[in-house]
Amino acid sequence: MRLKMLAKQMTAAALAAVLCASLCACANNPQTQSGTTAAQETTAAQTEKPSDAHRKVIIDTDTGADDASALILAAKQKNVDILGVTVLVGNVDLEQSTKNALAALELAGSDAPVYKGSADTLDGTAKIAFSVFGNDGMGDAGLINPKKQAAEGDAVDFIINTVKSNPDEVELIALGPATNIAKAIQKAPEEMKKVKRIWSMGTAGLGPGNASPVAEFNVYADAAAYKIMLDSGLPVTVIGLDMCDGAAQWTDAQFEQLAALNDTGSFVAKSFGKIREFYKSNGSETVMNCDALAMMCALYLDFVKSAVNTHASCLTEEGEARSQVIFYKEGFTYDAVKNDFAYNTVLVTDVNKDAYFNTYLEAVRQ
């Protein structure tokens, strides 16, 4: 998570309750795996079951600690083929984002190539916010010493060419601003129509933002790009900030479990050191990790408990509401608008928050 934000501000559950629930378009609704894990801290949750279907994904990221934890989660899935990781500016600058992605993948045992993408926004102005993850985006803990380098070629071209070579098979999992994806849509709109689905960790969902009271950082960092993605007509599933609150937040005891698990768990725990300090300085004892949660929504069966089909509109004009994303629910008649939308955006409205940490722990244990 980015910018100043307190978990106690997240009250979206009350708003989400007014929406009727539907299954996420990609969930397929098989049964979940029952049983508790040995590492469970309390009595609560069962772990979730990864999808059995083979998946082809490109992960687009502005690699901070939360993104790195999500990359590791994806790399641990036996049925997931990470065709490539495309990086961009966001949490940190492009060079640091690239190094962080390489380091996380190496630790997880993945040889997925990493491609450099956008060093600034669509309008040419980088908006690097104050990083709560430290100067290197990874807790300033000396974790980032990758042996490999980025692959040759541009991230945007890689996205286009990979989708073209794998029509209707590639899922884009967007953990940062939408700049790379928007550029790909602008450059090759016909080829990009063959994207199977975009999964976006972005927007405030139905709750408050962290970049402003109504805006979430990934959208705020390049609102014009996010608008292009939403307006493209491509199928998009959005996981907002409101899915990361409450029981989804990680406690000190859980970070200790993670750190004691193995080298990978220690890497993740240490990378969150600075943000944990930040949260404590603002009176919160728990920490959000939305990127790994968004990855779990994309890759795990039944982790998404409910979702709703919507038309999503991103506000790009300067002012207090800039970067807010408004969701128009399909099937609901609005008096002040024409209701003639394309409802191509699925908004996740509930996830199995109680199972989140233990499911992540079991993945990292492998």
- For domain 7-14+50-365, give the fold: Inosine-uridine Nucleoside N-ribohydrolase; Chain A (3.90.245)
- Amino acid 10: pLDDT: 33
d(CA 229, CA 222): 11
In the predicted model, what is the mean pLDDT of residues 50-59? 91
pLDDT band at 129 (very low <50, low <70, confident <90, very high): low
Which residue shows structure tokens 């939308």?
Answer: 341
In the predicted model, what is the mean pLDDT of residues 135-160? 97
**pLDDT at 8 > cutoff 60:** no
d(CA 249, CA 10): 11
In the predicted model, what is the mean pLDDT of residues 237-241? 98
**pLDDT at 132 > cutoff 60:** yes
Closest residue by Cα to residue 310 from 292, 288, 277, 337: 337
In the predicted model, what is the mean pLDDT of residues 125-129? 63
Tell me the two tokens of residue 349. 């409205």
Better-predicted residue by pLDDT, 13 or 176 = 176
- Amino acid 46: pLDDT: 60
Better-predicted residue by pLDDT, 81 or 28 = 81
- Amino acid 214: pLDDT: 97
In the predicted model, what is the mean pLDDT of residues 47-58? 88
- Amino acid 57: pLDDT: 98
Q: What is this structure's pTM?
A: 0.87
**pLDDT at 229 > cutoff 60:** yes
CB 97 within 8 A of CB 62: yes
- Amino acid 362: pLDDT: 97
pLDDT band at 48 (very low <50, low <70, confident <90, very high): confident
Better-predicted residue by pLDDT, 5 or 123 = 123
Better-predicted residue by pLDDT, 32 or 337 = 337
In the predicted model, what is the mean pLDDT of residues 301-325? 96
Cα end-to-end distance, the chain, whole Å: 26
Q: What is the pLDDT of residues 326-355, one digit of tens each?
A: 999 999 999 998 888 999 999 999 999 999
Backbone angles phi, psi at 252, to 5 degrees: -55, -45
- CA 123 to chain centroid, in Å, comes to 23
**pLDDT at 118 > cutoff 70:** yes
Better-predicted residue by pLDDT, 18 or 230 = 230
Domain spans, the chain: 7-14+50-365
- Amino acid 126: pLDDT: 65
Tell me the two tokens of residue 11. 């009250």
Q: What is the pLDDT of residues 202-217, one digit of tens each?
A: 999 999 999 999 999 9
Q: What is the pLDDT of residues 264-308, one digit of tens each?
A: 999 999 999 999 999 999 999 999 999 999 999 999 989 999 999
SS3 of the chain: the string is CCCCCCHHHCCHHHHHCCCCCECCCCCCCCCCCCCCCCCCCCCCCCCCEECCCCEEEEEEECCCHHHHHHHHHHHCCCCEEEEEEEECCCCCCHHHHHHHHHHHHHHHCCCCCEEECCCCCCCCCCCCCCCCCCCCCCCCCCCCCCCCCCCCCEHHHHHHHHHHHCCCCEEEEECCCCHHHHHHHHHCHHHHCCCCEEEEECCCCCCCCCCCCCCCHHHHHCHHHHHHHHHCCCCEEEECHHHHCHHHCECHHHHHHHHHHCHHHHHHHHHCHHHHHHHHHCCCCCECCHHHHHHHHHHEECCEEEEEEEEEEECCCCCCCCCCEEEEECCCCCCCCCCCCCCCEEEEEEECHHHHHHHHHHHHHC
Better-predicted residue by pLDDT, 302 or 128 = 302
